[in-house]
Amino acid sequence: MPSKPAVPVATDHVGSATPRSAPSAPTMFIDGAWTAAADGATFDATNPATGRVIGHIAAGGRADAARAIDAASRAAGAWGRTSPFDRAATLERVAATIEARRDDLARALTEDQGKPLHAEAYGEVEELILYFRMAAAEAPRIEGMLPPSVDPSKRVLVYRVPKGVVGVITPWNWPYTMPAELIAPALAAGNAVVWNPARLTSQCAVALAACIAEGGLPPGVFNLVTGPGDEVGDEIAADPRVAAIGFIGSTRTGHRIAERAAGKELLLEMGGNGPLVILDDADVEAAVRATITACFLNAGQSCTAGERVLVDRSIHDRYLERLVETVRGEVRLGDPLDGATTMGPLNNERTAAKTEHQVAEAIERGATLHAGGQRASNLGSPLFFQPTILDRVTESMEIAREETFGPVVPITAIDGADEALAIIDGSPYGLLTAVFTSDLARGLRFAESARAGWVNINEGTNYWESHLPFGGRAGSQSGLGRVGGRFSIERLTELKTIVVNLA
């Protein structure tokens, strides 16, 4: 096993969140070593709950991305030829390192992203461990085929082999689990990885990369390049030596990556506007509980958030009354380090401004505000947004048509399942939806008809399991391909046919 590389120590500065120059930060991991950006540039990592600077991150550029791709290209062949059992053991070591550092990783997540420490951050770390253990379990299960030949003197062998170099570009809303659902299976399948994380949560990325680095991977097999996506991510997507791109993020960025990566294998998990549908025979209490998780988990910053809530008119008033009561009594906005907090700040000003605009625009167009509706002014940062409930939301409103990525419940009254399906069909998205009904057959028929890659029955939109195939419906703006367990590995490998002439 290679010796463990030194782990960079992030500084903890208190001060302005305005980017400024700082000493070169060796927070990128390239070819088995921690390194600074080629030009020495850095940017500040800031805590969204306080605005304080918590560290300096290397601001990599195209030259750094090319350097990482060079290293990955050199390492990919040998790593792909290693025993899958050895690759599994390496990923188990990574999982064990993450588990040993769970407290530090959870704290880093809270300080860098804003998730409440006890309510959410520890849960994401636990899921991160699961992703690496699951990939370790899948590595020895990669199988080929022995199909027959038309010629009895020949034998046909079909192997599943690594793609080579896989580029991974990930978002800030789930800075541990979203990278893991691509990086872990890519490594398990025998690929080398070059990872460009979201700039806004690069401190988390460095913490995760340190755990991966200590797993004993050969130099060049795993590489982290922090820096702006329009430079680093673009270079990774366009480089011909990169055989596959795994991307999670916005639809707009995903389309740009698809253009730059034309001809490569693409795994794109993009935007969603998944409706939570509550039919006339639903358990209202269960539906309210699911709404809380669907709309306020991670302060609504999830591609599977309940961006629309479609409630049958016959139970609308009862549902709304109970929802308002529950939100006021149970959703606690505050300091994410406080054990009583259930919802922290939004991660960045752009998301906060978008949420603020969409709520105001909906009210101006006739929506009724029942809770929240604005930023919380007394919590030490302008990024705290009150848990918000809007009723009488219509298709003319931006909040009904686009991703909000904020803590908002946008409610629309409907007249039955057919109207709900028509609204789903009219959306450009097709990632995940959910339906509540006491009639299982009715729910299953609804799920089969809904234009979405995943449908939950009597469960909220933010429920998924990491080993199951997850992704957007074909033809939608929600992505391409499936991640999850063996389904990720299938996309990050390819079939190779060998014919043997026994004569």
Residues 83 and 69 placed together within one structural domain of the fold: yes
Residues 85 and 186 placed together within one structural domain of the fold: yes
**Angstrom distance (rounded) from CA 288 to CA 86:** 47
- The domain that contains 442 carries what CATH number? 3.40.309.10
Residue 184's Cα: distance from chain center in Å? Answer: 14
Does residue 230 lie in a domain region?
Answer: yes
Residues 65 and 175 placed together within one structural domain of the fold: yes
Q: Is 303 a catalytic residue?
A: yes
Does residue 474 lie in a domain region?
Answer: no
Q: What is the pLDDT of residue 8?
A: 53
Q: Which of 26, 30, 223, 198 is nearest to 112 (CA)?
A: 198
Residues 173 and 53 placed together within one structural domain of the fold: yes
Does residue 10 lie in a domain region?
Answer: no
- The domain that contains 67 carries what CATH number? 3.40.605.10
Give tens-digit pLDDT for 449-499.
999 999 999 999 999 998 999 999 988 999 999 999 899 999 999 999 999
**Buried-state track 431-453, b at ≥16 Cβ within 10 A, e below 16:** bbbbbbbeeeeebeebbeebbbb
Consecutive H or E run containing 95 = helix 84-100
Which residue of the set 120, 214, 231, 269 is catalytic?
Answer: 269
Which residue of the set 303, 356, 403, 490 is catalytic?
Answer: 303
Residues 43 and 136 placed together within one structural domain of the fold: yes
Residues forming beta bridges with residue 223, ordered by sequence position: 194
What's the domain count of the chain? Answer: 2
Q: Is 204 a catalytic residue?
A: no
Q: What is the pLDDT of residue 51?
A: 96
User: Which ranges of the chain have pLDDT less than 50?
Assistant: 1-7, 9-22
Q: What is the pLDDT of residue 474?
A: 87
Percent over 70 (pLDDT), the chain: 95
Does residue 17 lie in a domain region?
Answer: no
Residues 237 and 309 placed together within one structural domain of the fold: no
Host domain of residue 403: 275-465
Does residue 48 lie in a domain region?
Answer: yes
Q: What is the pLDDT of residue 38?
A: 96
Residues 198 and 290 placed together within one structural domain of the fold: no
Residues 217 and 295 placed together within one structural domain of the fold: no
Q: What is the pLDDT of residue 1?
A: 39
Q: What is the pLDDT of residue 410?
A: 98
